[in-house]
């Protein structure tokens, strides 16, 4: 699963990480999907603001990235499980890669993802360490 980059004009919720929630069973999805995969018959989903706070469940250091991300290398790519339960893959920023560890509490930040050289810049979410331990966000343990 990947965070999908998007451009400014497509941006509805600039600083919010928005997924989908099933109207019937409350399953949460990210990447967003229009139809719940847990319900039979399928039910619709509605926008659902995610906390943006989660924990690293797996990570790796990327030394040889895809060409469009070459300027950022080396960087840490992690699987983050949000407190709502959904997992997503994201770059970890604002910290030394040696400090990244499994179980680390992180929060979503809004950052430039790619720049194509023709002025088109894509933005999306990355994650950084949550310095206060997440208590302000109600995310303990």
Interface residues toward Zn ion, by CB under 5 A: 22, 24-25, 27, 36, 38-39, 43
Closest distance between Zn ion and the C-beta of residue 25, in Å? 3
Report the residue number, 24 or 114, with the smaller CB distance to Zn ion: 24
Report the residue number, 22 or 104, with the smaller CB distance to Zn ion: 22
CA distances from 128 to 64, 86, 103, 115, 120 (A): 21, 17, 13, 21, 25
Strands (E), 44-104: 45-50, 53-62, 75-82, 87-92
Closest distance between Zn ion and the C-beta of residue 23, in Å? 8
Report the residue number, 19 or 124, with the smaller CB distance to Zn ion: 19
Closest distance between Zn ion and the C-beta of residue 21, in Å? 9
Q: Are 8 and 116 in contact, with CB atoms under 8 Å apart? A: no
What is the Cα–Cα distance from 141 to 138, expressed in whole angstroms?
10
Q: Are strands 87-92 and 75-82 parallel, antiparallel or unpaired?
A: antiparallel
* Residue 140 β-bridge partners: none
Beta carbons within 10 angstroms of residue 100's beta carbon: 18
Report the residue number, 45 or 76, with the smaller CB distance to Zn ion: 45
Closest distance between Zn ion and the C-beta of residue 42, in Å? 8
């Amino acid at each position: 699963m990947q965070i999908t980059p998007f451009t400014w004009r497509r941006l509805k919720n600039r600083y919010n990480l928005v997924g989908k929630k099933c109207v019937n069973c409350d399953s949460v999805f990210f990447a967003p999907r229009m139809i719940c995969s847990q319900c039979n018959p399928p039910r619709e989903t509605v926008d659902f603001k995610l906390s943006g706070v989660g924990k690293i469940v797996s990570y790796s250091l990327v030394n040889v990235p895809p060409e469009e991300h070459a300027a950022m290398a080396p960087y840490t790519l992690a699987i983050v499980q949000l407190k709502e339960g959904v997992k997503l893959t994201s770059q970890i920023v604002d910290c030394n890669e040696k400090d990244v560890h499994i179980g680390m509490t992180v929060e979503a930040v809004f950052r430039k993802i790619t720049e194509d050289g023709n002025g088109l810049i894509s933005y999306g979410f990355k994650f950084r360490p949550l310095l206060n331990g997440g208590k302000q966000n109600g995310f303990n343990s």
